[in-house]
Structure 1
Amino acid sequence: MKKLKNIFIIIICVSVASQIHFNVLIQGFTIAFSVVVFSIFLYNYVDLNPIKIAIITGITTSLYKSFWLYWNIMSFSKVIKMTAPEIVFYVTYGIIFYFSYYKSRKKELTKFMILVFCCDFLSNLVEISVRTKLIGINSNIIKDLLIVACVRTLITLIILIAMKYYKSFLIREEHEERYRRLILLTSAFKSEVYFMNKNAAEIEDVMKKSFSAYQIVSKNHYPDELKNLTLDISKDVHEIKKDYIRVMRGLEEITNDKIDTEPMNIRDIINILEIDTKDYIVTKNLDIELKFKVDCEFYVLKHFYLMSIIRNLIFNSIEAIDNKKKGLVKLKIEKVEDEYVFSVSDNGTGINSSNLNFIFNPGFSTKYNKETGSICRGIGLTLVRDLAQDIFKGNIFVQSIENKNTIFTVKIPITSFRR
């Protein structure tokens, strides 16, 4: 089915390209762009038999040209006489190509181009021989055929090289896109694992408290039901902790990759975040302008965590803008004395002054899903604070005026980025 589809594509393209031509040398003989198109298809569709393709293409192209010529000449015999020799051209081309290249194990562009030149010249020579019945072929005609073959071969080479560069460009773009997605995914993944590690310590604390409760109940001779209940709670928390740690260790092993050890330039980090954020804004059809500015140059070893900090703040700002028209999110990174300062600001809804003291608390959130009514889990700013403090030994500050703007500022010592 795929081969039939490819054959159909070749027939259509070559037939259309055959209309780009000019008459030279003798009456009825044309130099057409279709030969270039035919050669390019032979190079790309290596699984198709050149002889079969040449026969089908030659017949189809001749019929196509006959149809248009008939309206002008109105003589079927003259039209056939003018177009039929083209079938000879394509068949000759296909046979030469089949035995010289298709059956050859070694296939390379240089060999292909030499063969295209030979096929073009020899096929034209055979076609003219058929048209003139071997009469009238002289050195001038042979010279002209050599020039035509050379020009069409050169055009074919240029198009093939352009196609190769275009394909490599698309592949490079695809690889870059995959790399950006991998970096962002790994950043979110590692941040979640970090947060789980912190939760493990809290689970341990809950387990100790539940066991202490069991000991108190046992010593004070409370009812057996209460004693058994506290013991069951302690056991359940212990089992939850074991499962939690097992899952967490498995996730940590997944992230143990060489990419973690490679420092990343701050400009590359911001470039990835900017592309990702712009894609999100376009996808959500938001009226938000981004202004990212990096005034310093440095490398980050733990770039996944820094990316998570900045990304959380940026998307927090986008959510704060909500449906406001002409939203603006700014990111500025600069060096101030012995610190790198990261500031993310927006012209969104701002934060109520009564909530400013609680926004970094785990679970705190004023956001909810309008469709389901579910409240967001509220670990974004908690995670940002913990990463800034624990990983980079820095601090985070917030300034906000309700219904006007919000500015988050993260200050990290320069020494935290030195290798």
Structure 2
Amino acid sequence: MIDSHQYSKVQITKMLLIAFVDAVVSGFYLKIFPLDYTINLAVVILPIYYYLDRRLLPAVTAIFIAAFGLFFRTMTGFYYYGSFANAFWSDFNFMFFDITYGIIFTLLYYMNEQKTLYTFFLAALASDFLGNAAEFISRYGIEEYFSGSVMATLMFVAVTRASIAVLLISAIKYYNSFLRKEEHDERYRMQINLLSELRGEIYFLKNNTEHVESVMDEAFGLYREYDQLSAEAQKNKALNIAKNVHEIKKNYFKVIDGIDEIIINETPFDRLNLSDLVKMLYMSTLRELENEKKHVILYFDVHSTSPIHEHSMLMSVLRNLINNAVEAIKSEGEVRLTHNEDESKHFFTISDNGCGISEELIDYIFKPGYSTKYNDETGHSNRGIGLSLVLDIVEKYFEGEIEVTSNVGIGTQFRILIPKNKV
């Protein structure tokens, strides 16, 4: 939290910085009158400062700009005018513009409750025009001001500078909006990736519940057998195993229900179109490749706008196959994802030109425990959701088909068929 004293220091620092920048940029000017009168280009930037920081009071900032600008011009004009006094008085009239601009802008914009680009444009226009009028009259008198085309020229200058300021602010707002959208999309990509990983793991856990129940049934069956044989020690041991497995089962289901609830609550939308889903997968894979010591080119050719309701499950399947394809490439290569569809089915093809899989192993890749991600140094195998679960999701969850072809040294290709009414 910033107290008033600290806040004042911050604002004064900002005002001094604005005054310094204004003094430097004011060195760029145009002479549009036969008289020694210049049009300062710094005025294009000045209202932008006021728009971006609403806490800056233009009338007060104008005092800093006028004082700093006069000092800067006096120092730099010494050699041109021959003395500091001549330099000071020749540029003294600039202060009329700065002060007038600050006061008018404060009245028309800073104190206006309707702070829109339209009111900003009007305030910048009026401040510019009246500021130039005040400076011009202080230099050459009011009669010179009303003679010829001075007023029309100053109005043209004011409209031009105010318009440029509005265009620059619009560009800044568009850029900020673009950045916010990028951040928003990035959060969604991360959320979808996380949810797809959780859904895949939940599916894996649910499949294992049958094994847990089977162990519990067998242990209870042993208990009954030992009970009939009057084998008290073995009977108690079997009963304890059944009880322990039952407790494990309860905790197991609590974990599954808890993660399921998180997934339901955190899902950002009910459905995505397929193109957006694959775009998220593409960006996610690119980020992961940044940490890899290999050069992998991704070709994702998916342009379908078909709605996908089961986006997290489909993402689990595609991401796992893409990651396996990347893993199969040792130093450099290509990974492709293509898609076709008809009225009732989606057809996906994931291919790579990596090391390939031998004929001896091709029949085992969908078996539980098989992994392409074995670490020789640690001896650990990173399962992910595993190809066995990919097969399970495609065939049982989506009621689709998956097949693989591979040649050692050439690469591997997975082809997936999924009914549209299942995704």
TM-score by length of 1: 0.88
**What corresponds to 1:81 in structure 2?**
89
C-alpha contact 1:348 1:406 (8 A) present in aligned 2: yes
1:382 aligned onto 2:388:
yes
> Could you say if the C-alpha distance between residues 366 and 107 of structure 1 is closer, same or farther in structure 2, counting changes exceeding 3 Å?
closer
Aligned equivalent of 1:208? 217
Q: Hey, what's the Cα distance between the residues in 1 that align with 2:92 and 2:172?
A: 32
| Aligned partner (choices 333, 339, 361) of residue 333 of structure 1 | 339
Structure 1: gaps spanning 5 or more residues: none
Counterpart Cα distance in 1 of 2:105 and 2:273: 52
Is 1:94 aligned to 2:102, yes or no? yes
SS in 2 for 1:340: strand
**CA 1:138–1:238 in structure 2 vs 1: closer, same or farther (change >3 Å)?**
same
Quick one: distance in 1 between partners of 2:384 and 2:366? 9
| Counterpart-to-counterpart distance in 1, 2:189 and 2:66 | 48
Does 1:277 pair with 2:285?
A: yes
The aligned residue for residue 296 of structure 2 is 288
**2:363 aligned with 1:357, yes or no?**
yes
User: 1:330 offset after TM fit, Å?
Assistant: 1.6
Mapped contact 2:97–2:131 kept (Cα < 8 A)? yes
Superposition pairs of residues 14-33 of structure 1, within 5 angstroms: 14-25=22-33, 29-33=37-41
Q: Which residue number in structure 2 is paired with residue 304 of structure 1?
A: 312
Say if 1:342 and 1:411, in contact at 8 Å, map to a contact too: yes
Residue type at the aligned position of 2:367? N
User: By how many angstroms is 1:292 displaced?
Assistant: 2.3
8 Å CA contact retained: 1:359, 1:365:
yes
| C-alpha separation in 1, matches of 2:387 and 2:167 | 55
Query: Cα–Cα, structure 1 residues 336 and 91, in superposed 2: closer, same or farther, change >3 Å?
Result: closer
Q: 1:82 to 1:221 in 2, by over 3 A?
A: farther
Give the deviation of 1:295 after TM superposition: 8.0
Alpha-carbon distance between aligned partners in 1 of 2:98 and 2:167, rounded to the nearest angstrom: 22
> 1:392 and 2:405 equivalent?
no
Q: What residue is the counterpart of 1:266 in the other structure?
A: 274
Amino acid at match of 1:214: Y
**2:382 match: secondary structure:** coil
Segments of 5+ residues of structure 2 without an aligned counterpart are: 1-5
Distance 1:307 1:392, change over 3 A: same
What amino acid is the match of 1:153?
Answer: A
Q: How does 1:216-231 map to 2 (within 5 A)?
A: 216-222=225-231, 224=233, 226-231=234-239
Paired with 1:285 and 1:86, the residues of 2 have a C-alpha distance of 61
Deviations, residues 192-230 of structure 1 (Å, cap 9, x unaligned): 222222222222222222222333333334462x44333
CA 1:70–1:219 in structure 2 vs 1: closer, same or farther (change >3 Å)? farther
Q: Deviations over 1:322-370 (max 9, x none)?
A: 3x23x11122223489753322111112224333333222232242345
CA contact (8 A) 1:14 1:57 kept: yes
Look up the match of 1:42. Answer: 50
Aligned counterparts of 1:395 and 1:61: Cα–Cα separation in 2: 76
Q: Deviations over 1:168-188 (max 9, x none)?
A: 222223222222222222222
- Aligned-residue offset at 1:23: 2.6
Query: For the residues of structure 2 that align with 1:101 and 1:261, how far apart are their CA atoms?
Result: 41
1:151-183 CA distances to partner (integer Å, 9 max, x unpaired)?
A: 211222222222222222222232222222222
Look up the match of 1:407.
Answer: 413
Shift of 1:46: 0.6
> Displacement of 1:312 after TM fit?
0.8
Residue 137 of structure 2 is aligned to residue 136 of structure 1: no
Is the aligned partner of 1:245 residue 2:271? no
Identity of aligned residues (%): 34
Asked if 2 retains the 8 angstrom alpha-carbon contact of 1:365 and 1:377, the reply is: yes
1:111 aligns with 2:113: no
In structure 1, C-alpha distance between the alignment counterparts of 2:271 and 2:384, rounded to whole Å: 30
TM-score by length of 2: 0.88
From 52, 68, 74, the equivalent of 1:66 is 74
Q: For the residues of structure 1 that align with 2:329 and 2:65, how far apart are their CA atoms?
A: 61
* Cα shift at 1:32: 1.1
> What is the distance in 2 between the residues matched to 1:263 and 1:210?
44
Q: Deviations over 1:10-45 (max 9, x none)?
A: 234323321221234375532111111111111111
2:183 is paired with a residue whose SS is helix
Q: CA RMSD in A?
A: 2.7
Closer, same or farther: CA 12–287 of 1 in aligned 2, 3 Å: farther
CA deviation after TM superposition for structure 1 residue 57, in Å: 1.8
The whole-number CA distance in structure 2 between the counterparts of 1:125 and 1:296 is: 61
By how many angstroms is 1:123 displaced? 1.3
Whole-Å Cα distance in 1 between the matches of residues 64 and 293 of structure 2? 50
The one-letter code of the counterpart of 1:190 is R
CA contact (8 A) 2:200 2:385 kept: no
Distance in 2, matches of 1:382 and 1:221, equals 43
Q: How far has the Cα of 1:262 moved from its partner?
A: 4.0
Is the Cα contact below 8 Å between 1:260 and 1:302 reproduced in 2? no
Aligned residue for 1:197?
206
* Paired position in structure 1 for 2:3: none
C-alpha separation between the residues in 1 aligned to 2:220 and 2:166? 79
Indicate if the aligned counterparts of 1:50 and 1:97 stay in contact, CA closer than 8 A: yes
SS at match of 2:362: coil
Q: What displacement does 1:298 show?
A: 3.8
Partner of 1:185: 194
- Larger mean CA deviation between 295-304 and 360-369 belongs to 295-304
Query: Does structure 2 retain, via aligned residues, the 8 Å contact 1:364–1:379?
Result: no
